Amino acid sequence: METKQMIIKNNEIDNKNVIREAAALLSEGELVAFPTETVYGLGADATNEEAVAKIFAAKGRPQDNPLIAHVATVEQLRGLVDNLPDYVEELIKAYSPGPLTYVLPTNGTCATNVTAGLSTIAVRIPDHPVALSILQACNLPIAAPSANISGKPSPTAASHVYEDLQSKIAGIVDGGPTGVGLESTVISCRENDVVILRPGGITKEQIEEIIPVADIVMENNEKPASPGMKYKHYSPEVPLWLVEGNAEAIQQVVDKEQHKGKKVAVLASKEIYQQVKADERFNLGGNLSEVASRLYDALRTFKEAEVDLIIAEVFPETGIGEAVMNRLRKAMTRYIEQ
């Protein structure tokens, strides 16, 4: 299949041609990738079981890992769930559209493969003009996991999507690089509190302004609360080590591995980036938000042919740092303590 590349320049969103075409393809049961504020999503009509099945096939995603349904409005969100607890209405007022996904009892509107047969459905309203315009134009809930091959780093640019999915999907809407750069926070909405199933763009602190967070579920449970937890994620082509400590501590590990003949790339925030010497380096930026937005691009940058090892800094787990470290821990092959 030829993958149509549909480019949106800033002002083109008004003339709506690309948006209409993307919405038409989605309504016909085809797969279209589009930008959201978190990462690029791979969209399919969430009410069409066959269309949703194409997502699992194109990504190589395990069948038991449910998808997030994306909608444009609170009304549409209400249309997918059994009932909306009062505090969820408050969370929506505060953080939707935005990178927060609500897991709630499903009313069965979406196809059963969206929820992988669970009694709950994950829903969110993305905060991106292109995503919202497409959702409005097709007036359907759109199932949209990240538009990458399962296991690889999520796409934060249309070129990443093309690299992974060209000729497997009908179209890619190119709206430039995404903003947050990490996926949404997924919360299980219980009666009087929430459990964070995946840290993301909305922080625990932000949620706690409205409702207590009972737990942040950690990875690799025997029986995961969220099916996605048991799978490998975000892996670069070469081994990734996390090294605790300052520039000196990181330099020591780099030197040692270089002496063994390895080519080493370092991913680090600006300060450490400026101090460390290595074969390749990637500047993740001066604050945690920049680190979040650049991380997946960094993980995709270094290929097998160029380096043997990637070494990344350990970041503080405050605010968005919690999500950054969650992704890095899943991507790493080794953790070196100070």
Footprint on residues 190-219 left by ligand AMP (CB under 6 A):
197-198
Compute how many other C-beta atoms are within 10 angstroms of the C-beta atom of residue 17: 10
Q: How deeply is 12 buried, as exposed, middle or buried, from its count of CB atoms within 10 A (0-12, 13-18, 19+)?
A: middle
183 binds ligand AMP (CB under 6 A): yes
Q: What is the number of other CB atoms lying within 10 angstroms of the CB of residue 204?
A: 18
Nearest approach, Cβ of 23 to ligand AMP (angstroms)? 21
Round to whole Å and give the CA distance between 120 and 44: 19
Question: What Å distances lie between residue 200 and 177, 213, 216, CA to CA?
Answer: 18, 14, 11
234: left (phi over 0), alpha (psi -120 to 50) or beta: left
Contact flag: residue 68 with ligand AMP (CB under 6 A): yes
Site string for ligand AMP, 71-110 (x = CB under 6 A): --------------------------------x-------
CB of residue 122 vs Mg ion: minimum separation in angstroms? 12
Total binding residues toward ligand AMP, as defined by CB under 6 A: 19
Which residues, 4 to 63, sit near ligand AMP by CB under 6 A? none
Produce one character per residue of 124-154: b if its CB has 16 or more CB atoms within 10 Å, e if not.
Answer: bbbbbbbbbbbbebbebbbbbbbbbbbebbb
The residue with tokens 């290595």 is 278
Q: Which does 213 bind (CB under 5 to 8 A by kind): Mg ion, ligand AMP, none?
A: none
CB-nearer residue toward ligand AMP: 77 or 309: 77
The residue whose Cβ lies closest to ligand AMP is 228
Instruction: Tell me if the bond preceding 97 is cis, omega within 30° of 0.
Output: yes
Give least dist CB 274 to ligand AMP, A.
33
Give all strands of the β-sheet with 264-268 in edge-to-edge order.
Answer: 280-283, 264-268, 309-313, 240-243, 334-336
Shorter beta-carbon distance to ligand AMP: residue 85 or 227: 227
CA distance 111 to 116: 9
Among residues 235 and 258, whose Cβ is nearest to Mg ion? 235
Q: Which stretch binds Mg ion (CB under 5 A): 145-153, 202-210, 256-264, 306-314?
A: 145-153
Name the one range near ligand AMP by CB under 6 A: 87-95, 117-125, 246-254, 318-326: 117-125
**The entry of ligand AMP, Mg ion, none that residue 186 binds, CB within 5 to 8 Å by partner kind:** ligand AMP
> Which member of 3, 36, 48, 65 binds ligand AMP (CB under 6 A)?
65
Calculate the CA dihedral of residues 245, 246, 248, 253 and round it to 10 degrees: 40
Residue 132-171 contact track with ligand AMP, rule CB under 6 A, x = bound: -------------xx-------------------------
Q: Token pair for residue 213?
A: 């967070």
Which of 146, 226, 269, 326 is the binder for Mg ion (CB under 5 A)?
146
Token pair recorded at residue 305 = 């042919």
Which of 186, 265, 266, 292 contacts ligand AMP by CB under 6 A?
186
Nearer Cβ to ligand AMP, position 122 or 311? 122
Count residues near Mg ion (CB under 5 A): 1
Cα separation, 100 vs 322, whole angstroms: 15
Whose structure tokens read 């538009």? Answer: 147
Question: Residue 178 has which token pair?
Answer: 């995404």
Q: List interacting residues with Mg ion (CB under 5 A).
A: 146
Q: Name the residues that contact ligand AMP, by CB under 6 A.
A: 65-68, 103, 115, 118, 120-122, 145-146, 183, 186, 197-198, 226-228
